[in-house]
Amino acid sequence: MPSKHVPLSASLVDYIERCHSQSEDPLLHELREETLALGDVSIMQITPEQGAFLSLLIGALGVQRPIEVGTFTGYSAICLARPLPEEGTLLCLDSSEEWTDLARKYWERAGILDRIELKLGDAEESIQSIPEEPLFDFAFIDADKTRYDAYFELLLPRLAKGSVMVFDNMLWGGRVLPEPLVEPDARAINALNRKLACDLRVESVLLPVADGLNICRKL
Ligand SMILES: C[S@@+](CC[C@H](N)C(=O)[O-])C[C@H]1O[C@@H](n2cnc3c(N)ncnc32)[C@H](O)[C@@H]1O
């Protein structure tokens, strides 16, 4: 039986990156270029189709109060904040002043500065300082991988029932296999993928979008 999973060549990846709405968005393109100039760290930015997918989810689900863990230079935050309704607000958590200064510059240019609250500091401490109530209706997690499970546990009680949580890098460049794993990030991601698949508090699906998105919904 041939596999229905298509191995992605560089030209297919390029094709995917062009076949979504806003693929030529000049502001996002400029932010990608400026982030690229930062050097190797630019690999942390989400891909264009991941951004388009996040925007689509926010709009389709009618999200009003999302939270982002791991903001970097602000690309994913733009994708999360733009489709919000007028009264919607995004809370962004990051520990880097330098990178989020660049993010702010682009949020201002995108006209969404008033829709985004940025909290600088350790993300786990920032979430712990938020009351344990269902304040948010969407979460995007894209910070330090060994703490993904902690973010999941901390965010779950702060999300309303039915809310969606999206974790990036859940294929970790393919290094989630073979077991046993040694690298701490790979171990943490693999353990969380396996946990989410059988955690009765959520339903989840692992999708091979770029470096892998695990999408779960609070039941
Ligand atoms: C992969 S990048 C986020 C990329 C971003 N979502 C985008 O699309 O451009 C990870 C970010 O998490 C932040 N980070 C890592 N560990 C953190 C922690 N413990 N607390 C807060 N932020 C953290 C880093 O400063 C970095 O900006």
The tens digit of pLDDT for each residue in 113-122 reads 999 999 999 9
Cβ 56 under 6 angstroms from ligand 1: no
Cβ 99 under 6 angstroms from ligand 1: yes
Beta bridge partners of 119: 93
The tens digit of pLDDT for each residue in 156-185 reads 999 999 999 999 999 999 999 999 999 999
Cβ 94 under 6 angstroms from ligand 1: yes
Q: What percent of the chain is predicted at pLDDT more than 90?
A: 97
Q: pLDDT value at position 1?
A: 79
Task: Tell me if the pTM is above 0.85.
Answer: yes
Measured between alpha carbons, how far is residue 166 from residues 29, 159, 179 in Å? 23, 12, 24
**Strand order from edge to edge, sheet including 136-141:** 116-120, 90-94, 66-69, 136-141, 159-168, 213-218, 202-207
Hey, what domains does the chain have and what are their CATH numbers? Answer: 10-218 (3.40.50.150)
Q: pLDDT value at position 5?
A: 92
Q: Is the pLDDT of residue 24 over 90?
A: no
CA of 184 to the centre of ligand 1 (A): 17
Q: Is the pLDDT of residue 22 over 90?
A: no
The tens digit of pLDDT for each residue in 48-90 reads 999 999 999 999 999 999 999 999 999 999 999 999 999 999 9
Angle between helices 10-18 and 48-61 (to 10 degrees): 40
Cβ 55 under 6 angstroms from ligand 1: no
The amino acid sitting at 17 is E
Cβ 126 under 6 angstroms from ligand 1: no
- Please state, rounded to an integer, the average pLDDT across all residues of the chain: 97
Task: Over range 198-213, report the average pLDDT.
Answer: 98
Residue 5 burial (CB < 10 Å; 0-12/13-18/19+)?
exposed
| Rounded Cα gap, residues 200 and 89, in angstroms | 29
Terminus-to-terminus CA distance in the chain, angstroms? 36
Task: Over range 139-153, report the average pLDDT.
Answer: 98
Tokens of 1: 């039986």
Encode 29-67: b = buried (16+ Cβ within 10 Å), e = exposed.
eebbeebeeeeeeeebbbbbbbbbbbbebbeebebbbbb
CA of 54 to the centre of ligand 1 (A): 17
Task: Over range 126-146, report the average pLDDT.
Answer: 97
CA of 98 to the centre of ligand 1 (A): 12
Q: What contacts 24+ positions apart, CB below 8 Å, involve 198-203?
A: 201/156, 202/156, 202/165
- Pick from 155, 154, 137: nearest CA to 87: 137
CA of 143 to the centre of ligand 1 (A): 4
CA of 95 to the centre of ligand 1 (A): 7
CA of 14 to the centre of ligand 1 (A): 25
The tens digit of pLDDT for each residue in 79-105 reads 999 999 999 999 999 999 999 999 999
CB distance 163 to 138 below 8 Å: yes
Q: pLDDT value at position 23?
A: 85
Cβ 204 under 6 angstroms from ligand 1: no
Indicate the pLDDT class of residue 190, thresholds 50, 70 and 90: very high
Measured between alpha carbons, how far is residue 90 from residues 2, 45, 49, 74, 93 in Å? 43, 18, 20, 12, 10
Cβ 75 under 6 angstroms from ligand 1: yes
Indicate the pLDDT class of residue 137, thresholds 50, 70 and 90: very high
Position in ligand 1 atom list of the atom nearest CA 122: 20
CA of 1 to the centre of ligand 1 (A): 41
